[in-house]
Amino acid sequence: MSTVNPNPVVAQESYMVTEGKKHGATRDVRPEAAFDRYYTVLRVHGGDAILTDNWHSNEVFSHIRNNFEGYTFVMRTLEAWGAIFQDEHRAYYTAGGRVWVLDLEPSEGKKPRLPGNHGAK
């Protein structure tokens, strides 16, 4: 009786990062994110979803908008926080039990927050 596995083991195609707010927290990140690729979040919105006008949705939306819009992030940091990139101009971020859309713009590097995005409600 042979216990040889007929399927070879595939090498891992991603790596772990330890960026984030919680100590010891890790998240699997794609290889493309290993390089310092910067993205500025131009806008946070619900996409095609209908936003429920209640306290919870409004608070989550306000928090994400105030902490993402106008800021430039490294791709691996956004992915470590849970953002899933669709392409260079759009990513999806789950918070408060729903998916939020991040409209992105590739950036040459870290830059100051865009004007006009100062946490206004």
User: Domain boundaries in the chain?
Assistant: 15-107
Alpha-carbon span 70 to 98, nearest angstrom: 21
Its pTM stands at: 0.66
Pinpoint the alpha helices (H) of the chain: 55-68, 75-80
pLDDT band at 12 (very low <50, low <70, confident <90, very high): very low
Whether 91 and 78 have beta carbons less than 8 Å apart is answered as yes
Residue 6 has pLDDT above 80, yes or no: no
Residue 21: predicted pLDDT:
54
Residue 11: predicted pLDDT:
47
Residue 47 has pLDDT above 80, yes or no: yes
- Overall average pLDDT of the 42-55 stretch: 86
Better-scored residue on pLDDT, 96 or 101: 101
